[in-house]
Amino acid sequence: MNYSVSLLSTINPLFFAALALVGLLLGKAIYTYKAYHDLRGKAIREIVLGSLVLIFIIAAFIVLPVLAGITVNENNLSLRLPSGLTYETIPKEDILSATVINLDEHPEYAIKSKVVGAEIRHYREGIFNLENGIEATAFYDDNTVLLVQTTNRTLLLGPDHFADFVKNFGDQLISVEP
């Protein structure tokens, strides 16, 4: 079963502010290109740069969250976290424990700093250092997550349809402690 985080939960005011700013700069560059023939070279550079920034914004806020996800089946857990540079499959045998926790009640598992990944509002995807000093792979958009301990890493997972995810995880891989 595939699980992801809704695109609507990752879009925030920063996305719209950046989009408006790039739109304004591109509009100015296009106006300069049309109105001032002697400044066309500068306008072309601004259009190219603005287009590249627009592509980056769309990739960071829309494409990466759509590509990210978790697949649970009876033999393994697969993670696809493009901005966290994580594409791996964890065999069932490597999963040691799974517990549902609320990050507000367990501040030792809160994010301290980002190693590599994306943070947009409550959305976290990638590899992060936790308050307790552990490096963990995270993919969640809420304060309630499934804390999974494996032989070589800690996972904080909280995709959409969390209750179904936890049930499926418990049925397919290892029983989940409440």
pLDDT, tens only, 26-75: 999 999 999 999 999 999 999 999 999 999 988 877 787 778 889 998 88
Least confident of 2-11, 110-119, 121-130: 2-11
Sorted by where each begins, the domain ranges of the chain are 2-67, 92-172
Question: Hey, what amino acid is at 134?
Answer: I
pTM: 0.74
